[in-house]
Amino acid sequence: MQARNIENKPYEVFLIGDTGNVNRHKPDPVLETLKCHFDKDQHSAVMFLGDNIYPRGLPPKTNILYKDAEDALKAHHEAMKDYHGKVLFISGNHDWNKGRKDGYEYILRQEKYLEKLFDQPVMFPSQGCPGPTEININSALTLVLINTQWWLQPGFRPIGQACGCRVGSEKEFFEHLEKILDSNKGKQVIIAGHAPVYSYAIHGGRYKLRHHLFPFTIYHKKAYVPLPFLGSLLPMYRKYFGAREDIAHPRYRYLRKRLIEIFKAHKGLIYVAGHEHNLQHIIKDNNHYVVSGAGSKLKYVLQEGKNLRFGMKAKGFFKIRFEDSMPPVLSAWVVDPVSQNGVMVYENKLS
């Protein structure tokens, strides 16, 4: 799915997710490393893949968490203020008040705040809508942004023209996504959503022995409360039934199934996500699945798997370079105390 056009200049897309816990009042190591890769002569875009504010998005001004949440968004803007390229944000479950029923108010508030900071719309799909939102970069590359949290969110979810949304039903969402992919045949397409389609980490139901012995370490790495035998119930439940943010959850499972069906008919797609606090590259059915959620928090990921090409628990981000007449190149960069540019720990041609 790769176009060839000598008029297109090289283009880079930076993928960084789950940055909601970045340093508020001093330079953040991950964002500072990211900035070192910016080149004013290089066309590029930065995609923040959701969970832009921990712990619960942007609350009302009267809420005790408001100032800290506001400072998180200001930290993102401070890092990007001199950046010459395109800046895009999508939303995650934490941005929707951690999936609570009033999350719609939170995401509208964050979108408006970001638009004011950056002096232009930067959060998509807008208005909390499901999407898909199509952004044509050039004649060889298209970005498609979807709101995966819309599918998992309890309470009010916007849909239809009355809410400013392009699609009026779940069925229409998938139909429109297929139309976008069909109209971009011959181009390289990146689809971005917060929730992964495949994962070799916790939300994908991959658990370590310690999670069965000390189940609360799933939520906090130091919660070593031993519950042998009984402790297995929590990881087993999340693996086979799922919390709302897990792949096993019925709503998540439905979205994932339909996306996989659509993607199988469009070889060469790149689907990018956050959600898992690690770095992953997975190849399945001739498509590439990138998880880049190591922007400010870390959780374990398997090192080996049938379709897993790379998995690492380290703070950092992915970069994809598109250059005419060549396959896109995916690289993973992690923070390093010696090198300002970080260290490249993985590279793969996406042929």
pLDDT mean over 76-98: 97
- The residue-averaged pLDDT of 232-248 equals 59
The CB density around residue 71, as the number of other CB atoms within 10 Å, is 15
Q: How far is CA 208 from CA 264, 282, 297, in A?
A: 31, 20, 19
pLDDT of residue 247: 81
The reported pTM is 0.90
User: pLDDT tens digits, residue range 273-295?
Assistant: 999 999 999 999 999 999 999 99
Q: Please report the DSSP string for 24-84 in residue order.
A: SSS--HHHHHHHTT--TTSEEEEEE-S--STTTS---TTSTTHHHHHHHHHHHHHHHTT--
Q: What is the structure's pLDDT at 305? A: 87
Range scoring the smallest mean pLDDT among 149-158, 171-180, 296-305, 318-327: 296-305
C-alpha span between 227 and 168 (Å, rounded): 47
Compute the average pLDDT of residues 178-204: 92
Name the residue among 194, 144, 142, 195 with its Cα closest to residue 173: 144
Confidence band (pLDDT; 50, 70, 90) for 86? Answer: very high
Position 203, amino acid:
H
pLDDT at 164 over 90: yes
pLDDT band for 216, please (50, 70, 90 cuts).
Answer: very low
DSSP-derived secondary structure letter, 215: G
> What's the rounded mean pLDDT across residues 110-137?
98
User: What are the structure tokens assigned to 180, written together?
Assistant: 């976008």
Domain parsing of the chain, residue ranges: 11-192+246-349, 206-245
Compute the Cα dihedral for 92, 46, 133, 181 and give only its sign. Answer: negative
* Rounded Cα gap, residues 300 and 314, in angstroms: 9
- Residue 351 has a pLDDT of 82
Ranking 9-13, 163-167, 212-216, 239-243 by mean pLDDT, the lowest is 212-216
Confidence of residue 213 (pLDDT cuts 50, 70, 90): very low
> Quick one: average pLDDT of 130-136?
98
CATH topology of domain 11-192+246-349: Purple Acid Phosphatase; chain A, domain 2 (3.60.21)
Note whether 43 and 11 are within 8 A (CB).
yes
